[in-house]
Amino acid sequence: MQKHQCVTICKVQSMFISVALFAYL
């Protein structure tokens, strides 16, 4: 459960960073 939650957070964080970089550019 915790491992799955960590993976979900990592995915969301990675996607958020990609969106932030795209918006910054």
Distance of CA 14 to the CA centre of its chain: 3
Q: What pLDDT, on the 0 to 100 scale, is given for residue 22?
A: 93
Cα–Cα distance for residue pair 17/5, rounded to 1 Å: 18
Q: Rounded mean pLDDT of 2-22?
A: 88
Mean pLDDT of the chain: 86
Please report the DSSP string for 1-16 in residue order: -HHHHHHHHHHHHHHH
Cα–Cα distance for residue pair 14/21, rounded to 1 Å: 11
Between residues 10 and 4, the one the model is more confident about: 10
H or E segment at 24? Answer: helix 2-24
Q: Could you tell me the pTM of the whole model?
A: 0.51
